[in-house]
Structure 1
Amino acid sequence: MSSTRVDEVNEPTGEFTSHDAPPKRLGLALVIICAAQLMIVLDGTIVNIALPHLQVDLGFSQANLQWVITIYTLAFGGVLLLGGRLGDLYGRRRMFVWGVALFTASSLAAGLAQSESVMLIARAVQGLGGALAAPNALALITTTFPAGKERNRAMGVFAAMSGAGAAIGLILGGILTEIDWRWNFFINLPIGLVVAFAAQRVLTESEDGRGSLDVPGAITSIAGLSSLVYGLTHAASSSWSDPTTVTYLAVGAVLLLAFVVIETRTKHPLLPMRILTDRTRGTSYFVMLIVGAAMFAMFYFLGIYIQTILGYSALKTGLAFLPFSFGIVIAAQVASQAISRMDPRWISGTGAGFATLGMWGFSHLEPDSTYVANLLPWIVVLAFGLGLIFVPLTLTAVHAVAHEDSSVASAVLNTMQQVGGTLGLATLSTIFVNNLNDKVAELTAKMPTGGPAPTAEQMAAAKKAISAEAFTYGASHAYVVAAIMIAIGGLITLVFLNVKHRELAHDGAEPVHIG
């Protein structure tokens, strides 16, 4: 059934006919799903550009400002598994629409916020909405599009939106902040309303799953993931040895261990262990975690470099990432075409090679580097590599998943990307800060002593030069480690990802009726 074309199946058997599900309906379904995914993904970076303006208008202290990002991350990362399971149990379209509606309403509240508390509550609800919508969006692609070319093409577009969303967020953030920071939230309103309205008319609801909600599993997973994400976030802003960091990481680890024990003993687990024990899916999840860690940190360090070293404005910084978006979209389409003829390991392995080279290229940036000569080529190489990685791994991450587990399997993939990004930023920030401090101490010790006292202008120029050189020195070490991480991910893919492209063309997941 899964390999049957959409226009060859009969309605009396609960399957498709050419009249009921013409290709344009599949195209419309893909637009709806990917629009929601793009809205959720770009929110991770679009708000970063607006933070300085938001801080002034709402009176955030520097210490509390980070919570605008952190509280969204906690809610999103902590509830993803539950959001996926709710879709499997109570309907994927229903949870998808509810998630988009929550995200849209809270975006309006954030845009209208006049105080810290309202903004933080709105951001938390945004995270909850994203956690409901994101895993069910991927599951809807898996269960809507027939295995083979249709699903490969859809996954290519979906992966491109997921990968390019962060860069598009930087671009939109720069443009909208020039108008008013509140438009970084208001931009979600027309998208969310159209998606929520159209989804109910184009996408068909899945049948309710069997079993009941695993409440103990839900509590321990939310608490454990939230504690882990917060511990990693705190490590990025302080240190790994900080008592708060250690406490939250330890509590998170204990709770997640308890979660695993609960899942192995309950009749209807939130996360069936069969999803993780499959070699193909396990490899895909782990590699996505590693690659997500490297990519998230790349955006962080590169964004600072472009603004502080190259001196670009917020808008110009966003536009500087435009080639990244184009590169990843083009590569995703190349991968979606190649996957019908090549095994996933070779496509992802090749992509990891390109991405490793691109990340290594960033390690050679200097304070006097230029965008066109020293930055742009590596942005294009990295983007092309990541596009080749994301499409095959997104397909293999949900390969051969039972129909009733589609959403929670997608949720695991989203969780790996979220935790990976947070882990990458925490780890590479530590490497960056340690090397930056060492370089500052070295350069400060070399400053000439004696003679006439330098003028204020000379001191300012010297400090600026030291800061720029120390930043690029620290970031270069972080990029080298990120390149090694991607290379390791590529090797793991080549060795352990043994699924064949013919198997993806005859996946067991059943497409559902559209319209």
Structure 2
Amino acid sequence: MAGNASTLTSDAVRTTPLHKGALLTIVLVSYFMILLDNSVIFTALPSLQADLQLTGTELAWVQNAYTLVFGGFLLLGARAGEILGRKPVFIFGLIVFSVASLLIALSPAGWWIITARAIQGIGAAIVAPSALSLITATFEGRERSRAVAWYSATAGIGASLGLVVGGAMASWFSWRAGFFINVPIGLAMLLLAPRFLPGTPALPGRFDLVGAITSTLGVGALVFAILNAAESGWTNPPTVIGFAVAVVVLIAFIVTEARATQPIMPLRLFASRTRTGAYLTRLLYLGAMIGFFFFTSQYLQEALGFTPIQAGVAFLPMTLVNFAVAMAIPQLTARFGNTLPLITGVALTLGGMFWLSRITTTSDYVTAVALPMLLIGAGQGLAFAPMTTFGIAGATASDAGAASGVVNTFHQIGSSLGLGILVAVAGAAAAGTTGGAAAITAEAVGALTGASIFLGISLLIVLILIAPGDLAAQRRTAADGDSATHSLAFRPSPGIR
């Protein structure tokens, strides 16, 4: 009887309907929180600095601590989801992120908020790869295309809407309100997640501890070196040491992964030129976009005289276009495939970015900023979903977590690397200026020009690595279909010999 009861319970679990809409809502809202906090800080930095009496270095580390830990722990978070099960890991990440958000909102001093931002980065590194792998494992075919489109729209909208929320909260209430928002949202998701998220089997085997340590230390050292270079210079001893440590440890990581029976990042993911191209494209594209948000926000406030909330609202036209285009992606990809929207999206973003890089201290917002933003928003809406799709294309169910972890890792490393390089470029471009509006404009022009170069290179990568492989796959699919049709058309009837 006990055995029969166990069987009945197991059957009941297996036949319980999966609420895919609820699952997608939980995943996207949780992912949105992460992206919101990655950008909400930009328009709130001046009031945060004044409230906590932070130095320039401390202020930089409010953002850098989050970025450093987020980038360093992404692969570990992805692998933990596979080994321990995506559902419990996702829930644990939500708990860490929500508690850290509360600690940030209650910060009494600089050391507190920097520490809390680092803890928040750990939560984000756990939630982000689990979110994408839950989508990959749950949805198939057209459903997966629509789910990935929503995921990608969330990635684009969360970044730009964070500027609006940060500016509004700082202007109307306090910079702390932007982080308090996450607490009730996180609690709601924690109440829903145990009920609606599907349980995924934990993979048997040993945890790749050496791979986890070397990947975390290597990526963390690389991100630290990039961020420190932007702050203290590329020849600064900690910067040089950081790069040296990153190179040595990442080489050790690659050697470890090549020999591991269950690697944290299977090197076979890079055997596909399509996936490799998607990872590199994402790295460069995100490097350009983080520079766009960082410097355009400063330009609007310090050169054109916008308040924090006005600067945030100034990004709304881009956000609305981004959302509208992203929602049309499933229909576009069903008709044209993923390659054409990706090429068009990167090209539109490049055109908008180069146009925006022509700003001056007396530029008109509508013609010099808003109209280029419309192109950037449309391009982002077209590009994100195909980039994500190509990044996980062909990955098996067992590699879903690893593939999503690599996608998010290149996303975060692209942001860190891009911002570090563009800050250095901006500093060189502003050398010799007298300060004020002229200096911030020169910095923005230099950074946005550099971002345009990033996008130009990413467009070449799409054309060289992704497009040929995708077209070849389409031709193979068409040939297989023609062969099957031919075989059926000429198959003799059972009575003919």
In structure 1, distance between residues paired with 2:11 and 2:352: 52
Which of 176, 186, 202 is the aligned partner of 1:182?
176
* 1:426-465 correspondence runs (5 A): 426-438=420-432, 440=433, 463=434
SS, match of residue 113 in structure 1: coil
Which of 449, 452, 455 is the aligned partner of 1:483?
452
Q: Match of 1:494?
A: 463
Are the aligned partners of 1:160 and 1:328 in contact in 2 as well (CA < 8 Å)?
yes
Are the aligned partners of 1:36 and 1:192 in contact in 2 as well (CA < 8 Å)?
yes
1:70 aligns with 2:64: yes
Are the aligned partners of 1:346 and 1:494 in contact in 2 as well (CA < 8 Å)?
no
Which of 373, 376, 384 is the aligned partner of 2:370?
376
In structure 2, distance between residues paired with 1:476 and 1:350: 24
For residue 151 of structure 1, what is the amino acid of its counterpart? R
In structure 1, distance between residues paired with 2:475 and 2:241: 44
In structure 2, distance between residues paired with 1:424 and 1:74: 14
> Structure 2: where are the runs of 5+ without partners?
1-9, 479-497
Give the structure with the higher percent helix.
2
SS, match of residue 335 in structure 2: coil
* 1:380-391 correspondence runs (5 A): 380-391=374-385
For residue 488 of structure 1, what is the amino acid of its counterpart? I
Q: 1:44-63: per-residue Cα shift (whole Å, max 9, x none)?
A: 11123333333333343332
Q: Match of 2:149?
A: 156
In structure 2, distance between residues paired with 1:411 and 1:232: 21
Q: How far 1:416 sits from its partner (Å)?
A: 0.5
- C-alpha change, 1:396 and 1:275, in structure 2 (3 Å) is same
SS, match of residue 378 in structure 1: helix
Q: How far 1:210 sits from its partner (Å)?
A: 2.6
Q: How far 1:41 sits from its partner (Å)?
A: 0.7
Q: How far 1:496 sits from its partner (Å)?
A: 1.6
- C-alpha change, 1:479 and 1:53, in structure 2 (3 Å) is closer
308-317 vs 42-51, greater mean Cα deviation:
42-51
In structure 1, distance between residues paired with 2:407 and 2:306: 35
Normalising by the residue count of structure 1, what TM-score does the alignment of the two structures yield?
0.86
In structure 1, distance between residues paired with 2:425 and 2:103: 38
Q: How far 1:373 sits from its partner (Å)?
A: 2.1
In structure 2, distance between residues paired with 1:472 and 1:251: 36
Are the aligned partners of 2:356 and 2:448 in contact in 1 as well (CA < 8 Å)?
yes
Q: Match of 2:489?
A: none
Q: Match of 1:456?
A: none
377-386 vs 342-351, greater mean Cα deviation:
342-351
Q: 1:443-468: per-residue Cα shift (whole Å, max 9, x none)?
A: xxxxxxxxxxxxxxxxxxxx5xx643
In structure 2, distance between residues paired with 1:241 and 1:290: 23
* 1:135-214 correspondence runs (5 A): 135-147=129-141, 149-178=142-171, 179-214=173-208
In structure 1, distance between residues paired with 2:53 and 2:410: 34
Q: Match of 1:125?
A: 119
Q: Match of 1:402?
A: 396
In structure 1, distance between residues paired with 2:337 and 2:206: 38
Are the aligned partners of 2:287 and 2:415 in contact in 1 as well (CA < 8 Å)?
yes
Normalising by the residue count of structure 2, what TM-score does the alignment of the two structures yield?
0.89
SS, match of residue 339 in structure 1: helix
- C-alpha change, 1:33 and 1:376, in structure 2 (3 Å) is same
Q: Match of 1:20?
A: 17
1:473 aligns with 2:442: yes
In structure 2, distance between residues paired with 1:376 and 1:337: 27
For residue 195 of structure 1, what is the amino acid of its counterpart? M
- C-alpha change, 1:504 and 1:205, in structure 2 (3 Å) is farther
Which of 236, 252, 260 is the aligned partner of 1:258?
252
How many corresponding residue pairs?
A: 465
478-487 vs 322-331, greater mean Cα deviation:
478-487
SS, match of residue 205 in structure 1: coil
- C-alpha change, 1:310 and 1:504, in structure 2 (3 Å) is farther
1:112 aligns with 2:103: no
Which of 310, 314, 317 is the aligned partner of 2:311?
317
Are the aligned partners of 2:44 and 2:308 in contact in 1 as well (CA < 8 Å)?
no
Q: How far 1:139 sits from its partner (Å)?
A: 0.6
Q: Match of 1:330?
A: 324
Are the aligned partners of 1:340 and 1:502 in contact in 2 as well (CA < 8 Å)?
no
SS, match of residue 347 in structure 1: helix
Are the aligned partners of 1:152 and 1:337 in contact in 2 as well (CA < 8 Å)?
no
* 1:255-334 correspondence runs (5 A): 255-334=249-328
1:416 aligns with 2:410: yes
SS, match of residue 312 in structure 1: coil
Q: Match of 2:4?
A: none
